[in-house]
Structure 1
């Protein structure tokens, strides 16, 4: 049962990173002058989302 939960967590993390990449790319395409700031926010959002996916993996191993 934990494997199913981890799989759903990874799907959620993947979708979140994809949406963040889409938003950052759209922002950079519309306003190239904010490229540095948008990229920084994207990297931070990706790191936090990936951390949540890893926490789900650890919880699955513990349970």
Structure 2
């Protein structure tokens, strides 16, 4: 086996491991938003918008992980 074959086999594993962080982050963001809405229901619209913004930034980490996991090594 050469390095390219090993790297090709590890890329999906690296992607799977790299998505654990964003998954935890999205869970925290959504959980804190639900908690905040329960405390102050009148801010639901504003908090929901901020939640989606936070989810978008957190999911950007997953997209970066996809790109990095499939970069071929020389």
Provide TM-score, normalisation by structure 1.
Answer: 0.87
How do 1:1-63 residues align onto structure 2 when only pairs under 5 Å count?
Answer: 1-63=10-72
Question: What RMSD in Å do the two structures reach over aligned CA positions?
Answer: 1.3
- Report the count of equivalent residues: 63
CA distance in structure 2 between the partners assigned to 1:55 and 1:62 by the alignment: 11
Higher helix share: 1
Report runs of 4+ in structure 1 exceeding 4 Å deviation: none
Higher-Rg member (1/2): 2
Provide TM-score, normalisation by structure 2.
Answer: 0.76
Structure 1 residues not aligned, in runs of 5+? none
